[in-house]
Chain A
């Protein structure tokens, strides 16, 4: 066996004459196709072209997986289309040469195989993938505001057919090895013990390529494509409007216009991706991705390894937190005196697990880890204790006082309070510094953010451990200081209240929600208030009202008093049927107030500036990240601050001042705007 070593690649040739290309990107744990990795691969392929071996197998030497995609950090340098095009064309050239190698070529996939990694695999003649829990294949570029750009648009459709390929490319979802096999994306899904055998077999006895099914070839015909493309566009439009998200539409166009000529389509793909990647949407989404990495890094910790989580309170939040922790592999005891509540959580959690875990046996194992604990026996075993009972400071204090002597001295003691400052709760503890806030959002399984709430009393190590725990349950930790409302609720409340004021001004509810959706919020504020629960909205608003200028609309109080609490009671601002809001149609000819979008959004932006100035978060990046992951704030705008900077601080401030003149004090610019101005 001969070995040649490059900076990122290692080449071995075995006795059968098969060349194994090992990617082991230098100075990192994860393989990505950075420019230098592609350049090296180009040089290697050059030599392989000159003296073709019996076969080539591309594999990863990293434990984390095959290849996670392109190097997203490099995207921030793509300020013009020309710069982007250089990198894209280079990759195209290398991948085309791989495709043209006369010998069998195999991608041996285990772990992550995403984006550019998947595209490299698609440039090989065969793909074999490990059938294991870590294997994930996909083309998630759309999540970054682009589409596959290394030949993936052409090759994925050719390999798996337009529907499977578009499904992956338009949704960005990933699939496991078995699903990939069913889609025709890989040739074999085998257990790790057979992976090398399978890769070798593809070289030694290369099987004939199976052609696409007849009907899949049919829909690729020129005359049918416009029709299919329109169906695809409609499906996309329901989720991602073209104004905000151009990439999926560009992708559908590529296929519709150029599929007949693969070379032309490849060329157009390169043009399109270069164009998209320097656009505002892609640059914003790349920022979001990097912000996410930044938050993940906050949870890095080598010396905190909790096993047992004890959650007190089997309400919606407590139950969801408990279920989520069990799903992520922790042993969880859930304490509540009400067995009905515990039984309800078990049912709900089982429903969730059945949805997200495919293997029936793994569902059982996960359910086994969630232990209903009416007597609170788990307290003394737990490494992390999370309080999620009713929002009442006195009740919480009584609880903390009684549990502190029972829990392990080194266990984290956390509260999921959404509004009570830690320093009002930790006074009853013999060690007040141990209390930290772990503020989850509803629904826990969908909301990636957890606010790590700290007061000046809070022990820094405890906060760091809380962040590490958050990372371990696959959520994003955001350190915030224990000021009323923390970050997310403090920003949401003015926005929701403004929406309710608009409702009181007789603006049709659906019109209010539509304005927010148009801006890019994932859900309108009226529906969001109904979803959060109007009682909770009222409680938080009143709590925040103590420290900030919040007008609580009279209608909100009336509805809560009447028991119309929103989605959970079947009626709030909207009526709910089968858990869906029935939105009355906007009367035809209705003209919405011109400044409605501004009224909604500027309440949020102004509060975001206030939070930053008030050091609720430690940086603008953290503020943007928290608001995007905590509220769903239009990701393609890159966060409120990114949006303000993009539009210009001065013009934005002027708009805010106009609103202040029209509507008064609640639009008074926070004094933070002045310092914001000087920063940019």
Chain B
């Protein structure tokens, strides 16, 4: 069982409220496209360009007005080194506009927004294109080290005899690939897969398979309702080169049911575990990009403000409990802002695993966890699930790791607007044992 973290000893400071206001003025995302066992129609750069050019086309300002481009991406393709720069150049923002890529695993997209917010707060920039992208279906498959050594030996062989000798050393094991995606989803320090960390939470808070599957079904139902009611205006369609277009998240299972999900086998703790492909986030390709602006830029270009970034928080915890990251990131914000859970109108907590979101909710209700792990005097109480992930989440929409952090910030603003509400929090758990959260408000 996990030992106590030392977070109760941390000093969270007086607050990370930005020194100057940071506004979100627009945002868009691609449909999230489920990876189906082979490279999907779009590499990461295509996803981001497809999203970004739509976003920029509808602006009143010229793309060259943008001061910086910041993109979160966990595993860009081999031709996508510093993918933010690739994006900036391909969008025609201009050679003279700098761009950088950030990586904080599952929260990379939110990290990009936070970096942008910090730059605007510090008066270093006025207008920033920031967000995230991931094409998990294009995640590279690598040669293993033995193969690399063999290839090096072959390249070094000069004579025919030497070459023949090197060839004779080739074995079947050389061809065993390294699946980048699986490695990326395994904690490199404690060696657990992300799914196993979710099993940890289920164990700790007694979350049943039934509860997880019910959560998953609800996620699909909520996404289906959102699609049907036209609540996903944030999506800009993508067009591939073979004459197809994609205008909706295609991982949605309208026929999802607890019975059907109950038949799936556990994938991480075989054969006794409870976390299945059906109650985990889908492996998906997608991108979400936002435009962040300073007060100055809002006035100069007469930009419509859709929200303001009021606060953000990054926290660490034990890697084997990484799914509780949101608890550790959100709690300090609530403390700083002197909010209760009920003071936040709408929530987006990324659904990496059903067990993991349920674990977060359980932790806030758990006396022991709140006192010993969060250093609180009392429990935080119950989060109203009617205000959480109201249009579905990673389980139904998918979780392109670099993009989700940007998607949930964009989406919570949309939900706030739709309900004429004010305050929202978006948060994710992060592989490696971290949590990130962002507080936004409509102005």
A interface, CB within 8 angstroms of B: 331, 333, 339-340, 342-344, 346-347, 350, 364-365, 367-369, 371-375, 377-378, 380-381
Q: How far is the CA of A374 from the CA of B237 in the complex (A)?
A: 9
B376 CB to closest chain A CB (Å) equals: 48
The contact of A333 among B57, B60, B91, B245, by CB within 8 Å, is B57
Q: Which residue of B lies closest to A364 (CB)?
A: B90
Are B244 and A343 neighbours in the complex by a CB distance under 8 Å?
A: yes
Q: Which 9 A-B pairs have the closest CB atoms?
A: A347-B243, A377-B58, A343-B245, A350-B241, A346-B239, A377-B57, A339-B245, A343-B239, A368-B90
Residues of chain B in range 161-220 having any CB-CB distance to chain A below 8 Å:
none
Query: Contact at A372–B49, with CB atoms within 8 Å?
Result: no
| CB proximity to A under 8 Å, residues B46-77 | 49, 53-54, 57-58, 60
Residue from A343, A364, A369, A373 in contact with B243 in the complex, judged by beta carbons closer than 8 Å = A343
Contacts of B384 in A (CB 8 A): none
Q: Is the CB of A368 within 8 A of B49?
A: yes
Contacts A/B (CB < 8 Å), 17 sampled: A333-B57, A342-B239, A343-B239, A343-B243, A343-B244, A346-B239, A346-B240, A346-B241, A346-B243, A347-B242, A367-B241, A368-B53, A368-B90, A368-B91, A369-B92, A372-B239, A378-B57
Most A-side CB within 10 Å, residue of B90, B92, B244, B245 = B245
When C-beta atoms are compared, the residue in chain B nearest to A308 turns out to be: B57
Alpha-carbon distance between A365 and B92 when the two chains are bound, in angstroms: 9
Known contacts A365-B90, A368-B49, A377-B57; A344 and B243 CB within 8 A of each other: yes
CA distance A375 to B92 in the complex (A): 21
Alpha-carbon distance between A378 and B90 when the two chains are bound, in angstroms = 17
Chain B, interface SS category: loop
Our pick among B57, B60, B241, B242 for the contact of A371 (Cβ within 8 Å) is B57
- B90 to A339, Cβ gap below 8 A? no
Q: Is the CB of B241 within 8 A of A339?
A: no
- A347 contact set on B, CB distance < 8 A: 241-243
Give chain A nearest CB distance to B106 CB in angstroms: 28
Confirm or deny: B247 has a beta carbon within 8 angstroms of a beta carbon on chain A: yes
Q: Which residues of chain B are near A343, meaning CB under 8 Å?
A: 239-240, 243-245
Residues of B with C-beta under 8 A to A333: 57
CB contacts (< 8 Å) of B58 on chain A: these are 375, 377
Minimum CB–CB distance for A530 against chain B, Å: 24
Report chain A residues within 8 Å CB of B247: 339
Q: In the bound complex, do residue B90 and residue A381 qualify as a contact, i.e. CB atoms below 8 Å apart?
A: no
Tell me which residues across on chain B come within 8 A of A331, comparing CB atoms.
92
Kindly provide the distance from the CB of A311 to the nearest chain B CB, expressed in whole angstroms.
13
A372 touches B92 (CB 8 A): no
- The A contact surface, by secondary structure, is helix
List 4 other contacts, CB 8 Å, given A347-B243, A368-B53, A368-B90. A339-B237, A346-B240, A365-B90, A377-B58
- List residues of B (67-122) whose CB comes within 8 Å of A's CBs: 90-92
Chain A contacts for B90, CB-based, 8 A: 364-365, 368
A346's nearest neighbour on chain B, judged by CB, is B239
Q: Are B245 and A342 closer than 8 Å at their CB atoms?
A: yes
Evaluate whether A371 and B54 lie within 8 angstroms (CB atoms) in the complex, with A331-B92, A339-B237, A364-B90 already known: yes
Q: Which of A340, A342, A365, A371 contacts B53 (CB 8 A)?
A: A371
Closest to B91 in A: A368
The answer to whether A340 and B241 touch across the interface, beta carbons within 8 angstroms, is no
**What is the CA–CA distance of A377 and B59 in the complex, to the nearest angstrom?**
8
| A369→B57 CA distance, assembly (Å) | 11
Question: In the docked arrangement, what's the CA distance between A343 and B247, Å?
Answer: 11
Interface residues of B in 234-289 (CB under 8 A from A): 237, 239-245, 247
Complexed CA–CA distance, A369 and B56 (Å) = 12
How long is the Cα–Cα vector from A340 to B246 in the complex, in angstroms?
10
Closest Cβ neighbor of B247 among chain A residues: A339
B215 to chain A, nearest CB (A): 33
In the assembled complex, the Cα of A347 lies from the Cα of B41 at a distance in Å of 13
A374: B residues at CB distance < 8 A: 237
Q: A553 to nearest B CB, angstroms?
A: 36
CB contact list, B349-407 vs A, under 8 A = none
B91 / chain A contacts, CB cutoff of 8 Å: 368
Q: In the bound complex, what is the Cα–Cα distance between A343 and B58 (angstroms)?
A: 20
Best-buried of A333, A368, A378 by chain B (most CB within 10 Å): A368
- Given the complex of chains A and B, what is the CA–CA distance between A380 and B90 in angstroms? 21
B304 to chain A, nearest CB (A): 14
On chain B, the residues within 8 Å of A346 by CB distance are 239-241, 243
Question: Which residues in window 16-65 of B have CB below 8 A to A?
Answer: 49, 53-54, 57-58, 60
From residue A331, how far is it (CB to closest CB) to chain B in Å? 7
- How far in angstroms is the closest Cβ of chain B from A174? 28
- Determine how close the nearest CB of chain A comes to the CB of B55; give it in whole angstroms: 9
> In the bound complex, how far is the Cα of B240 from the Cα of A520, in angstroms?
41
**Are B49 and A340 touching (Cβ within 8 A)?**
no
- Alpha-carbon distance A372/B241, docked complex (angstroms): 12
Which A residues are in CB contact (< 8 Å) with B245? Answer: 339-340, 342-343, 372
What residues of chain B lie closer than 8 Å to A340, measured between beta carbons? Answer: 245
Residue among B57, B60, B244 with the highest chain A CB neighbour number at 10 A: B57
Collect the chain A residues with CB atoms within 8 Å of residue B241's CB: 346-347, 350, 367
CB-CB nearest in chain A for B243: A347
Find chain B residues with CB under 8 A from A368 CB.
Answer: 49, 53, 90-92
With contacts A364-B90, A377-B57, A377-B58 taken as known, whether A372 is within 8 angstroms of B243 at the C-beta atoms is no
Alpha-carbon separation in the docked complex, A215 to B315 (Å)? 74
**Least distance between B57 CB and chain A CB atoms (Å):** 5
A367 — which chain B residues lie within 8 A by C-beta? Answer: 241
**What residues of chain B lie closer than 8 Å to A375, measured between beta carbons?**
58
The residue on A at minimum CB distance from B62 is A381
Tell me, in angstroms, the Cα distance from A83 to B105 when the chains sit together: 79
Question: Please, which residue of chain A has its CB at the minimum distance from the CB of B90?
Answer: A368
- Please measure, in the bound complex, the distance between the C-alpha atom of A218 and the C-alpha atom of B60, giving whole angstroms: 67
**A339, A365, A381: the one within 8 Å of B57 (CB):** A381
Which B residues lie within 8 Å of A373 (CB)?
Answer: 54, 57
Residues of A within 8 A of B49 (CB): 368
A377 touches B54 (CB 8 A): yes
Q: Give the chain B neighbours of A339 by CB distance below 8 A.
A: 237, 239, 245, 247
- In this complex, what residue of B is CB-closest to A349? B241
List, in ascending order, chain A residues with CB within 8 A of B53's CB. 368, 371
**A179 to B359 CA separation, bound complex (whole angstroms):** 64
**How far is the CB of B201 from the nearest CB of chain A, in Å?**
41
Nearest CB to that of A342 among chain B residues? Answer: B239
Q: Which residues of A contact B244 (CB under 8 A)?
A: 343
B80 vs chain A, min Cβ distance (A): 12
Complex Cα distance, B240 from A273, in Å, reads 52
Distance of A374 Cα from B245 Cα, bound (Å): 12
How far, in whole Å, are A163 and B58 apart by their CA atoms in the complex? 53
Instruction: State A629–B90 Cα separation when bound (angstroms).
Output: 35
Cα separation A372 to B245 with both chains bound (whole Å):
10
Contacts of A364 in B (CB 8 A): 90
- Closest residue on chain A to residue B55 by CB atoms: A377
